[in-house]
A and B are shown apart, each in its own frame.
Chain A
Amino acid sequence: MDGKPGPSEERDETGLEAAPVASRERSSDPARPERYGPLDVTRMRKEDGRALIVYSRTERTERTESAESADVPREHQRPGPA
C-alpha cells in the first residue's frame, strides 16, 4: 500500500481523517475556492466535524470552453503508482 502519489498529504484539510471539530464560524466562512476543471471547489466543515465540499460552476455561460481548457495538470491523472 505504499507508493501512492497524489494529494494524500491533504488529508487533514479534506477532513476525511479524524480532525478537530471546526468552530461555528468556520462552517459559515468557507475557504477560498480551488479550481478543478470547470468547477470551483470550496471545502467546509460541518459543526460535527464532517467534511463538506461545495462544487459550483460559476461561469455557466463559458461551460464548453472552460471544460476544454480544464486546468487539470497531467500529474493529477489517475491515482496509484504509474
Chain B
Amino acid sequence: MSELRFNELRGEPVAYAIHRQDRTFLPDRAHCPLDPTRPGEPPTEIPLESFEIVVFDNRFPAFEAPAGAAEVVVYTDDHDASLASLPIERVEALMWVWRHRYQELGAREDVEYVYIFENRGVEVGVTLHHPHGQIYGYPFLPPVPALELAADARLGRCAPCVLLARERADGRRLLFENDAVSAYVPEAARWPYEAHLAMRVHRPSLTDCEPRELRLLAEALLALVRGYDALFERPLPYVMAVHQAPTCAGSPDGHLHVEFYPPLRTAEKLKYLAGSEQGAGTFIGDVLPEEAAEGLREAIERAR
C-alpha cells in the first residue's frame, strides 16, 4: 500500500509507502533475499540456483499499478560483487536491461517518468548489500526532471547539450571521454565529488542509443565507479541517478545522462544536508569542482 499526497507549500508530491518500516534491514550474510535460491533451502526473492540479471516487482513498493511501478534490478548472483567489480559484458547487458525496462514501463499509461537509480552504501540508506539498483515508474513527472525541462526552456535548447559543450570547451572539470560519452564534474556541483556522464550526441533515452553507444556507456560507468572506489581507497557510497526523457503524453524531450552523488567529503567525513541545504535549498560546498575533478581524474587513472 502506498499513498500519494501533494505538499502545497513546496508544490511537490510526497509518497508514503506505509509498509516500508517492516522491510528487511541488513539481514545477515546467510539470509540475503537477493541471493540465488540454494537447493533444499527456502526460496529467496529469486527462485533460481544461478542467474545473470533479474528484475522483479519490489515487495515494498512506493508506487504500484495502476499508479506507477517499483522494480528491483539485481546485477549479479554474486553477493560480494559491486557494479565496479562486474565485467564489462555484464554492465553492457545491464544497459540493455535498463533500456528494456524504460521501454516497457514507459509505454504504460500510468507511468509518466521512468527513473533508474542505485543507492550504494549504508551512508545513503542501503538496506541490502547485494549489488542491485531500482527503477521507479512515477505516475507523475517528479520535481528534478521537471527542473531539467525548465533548464531547457531557460537556455533555449537542450540543457545537457549546452552544459556538455561548455564543459568540453573549459576542460578543467572533464574526467574522461570515450567515443560516445563524456564524464565531468559539473561547474556548480552540489556534492563534493558529484560527476555526470552524458551522451555526447543528443539521445533522449536509452532506446535512442545505438548498440555501440550502450557498450560505451557501460565502459564509462565502469571507469567512473572504479575511480570512485580508488578515490579514498574504500567502497564509495553514492546515489546514481539515470535521467532520460519523460514518458508522459506530449513527450517532452530529454537527454540521457547519469548523475552520481557521493555523500563523502573525505574518506571519513560525510556531507550532511543541513540548515542551508534543507531549509533554504542552497548547497554550501568546501571543495571546488575543479579540485574535485583533479582528484577524481587521478583516481580514475589509478583504477584503469
Contacts and interface: CB of A to CB of B under 8 A. Distances in A.
Given A17-B65, A36-B96, A39-B97, 4 more contacts: A1-B112, A55-B93, A76-B207, A82-B251
A67 B107 contact: no
B107 A7 contact: yes
7 contacts: A1-B112, A1-B248, A16-B105, A67-B96, A70-B211, A76-B103, A80-B247
B215 A1 contact: no
Contact of A1 (B46, B97, B204, B249): B249
A79 B93 contact: no
Contact of A16 (B48, B69, B208): B69
Contacts of B51: 54, 56
Contact of B107 (A4, A51, A54): A4
Interface residues of A, number: 46
A9 to B, nearest CB: 9
A55 B55 contact: yes
Nearest to A76: B103
Interface string A7-48: 110110011111000000001100000001111010010110
Contacts of B109: 1-2, 4, 8
Nearest to A41: B100
Q: Interface extent on B, as a size class? A: 35 or more
Given A11-B108, A17-B66, A39-B96, A50 B55 contact: no
B250 interface: yes
Contacts of B214: 37, 67
A18 B53 CA distance: 24
Given A7-B104, A16-B69, A53-B56, A78 B215 contact: no
Interface string B21-59: 000000000000000000000010111100111111101
Given A1-B109, A6-B103, A28-B47, A54 B251 contact: no
Contacts of B47: 27-28, 44, 46, 52
B191 to A, nearest CB: 29
A47 B104 CA distance: 23
B89 A63 contact: yes
A80 B245 contact: yes
A49 B250 CA distance: 33
Contact of B249 (A2, A17, A37, A41): A2
A55 B97 contact: yes
A79 B102 CA distance: 8
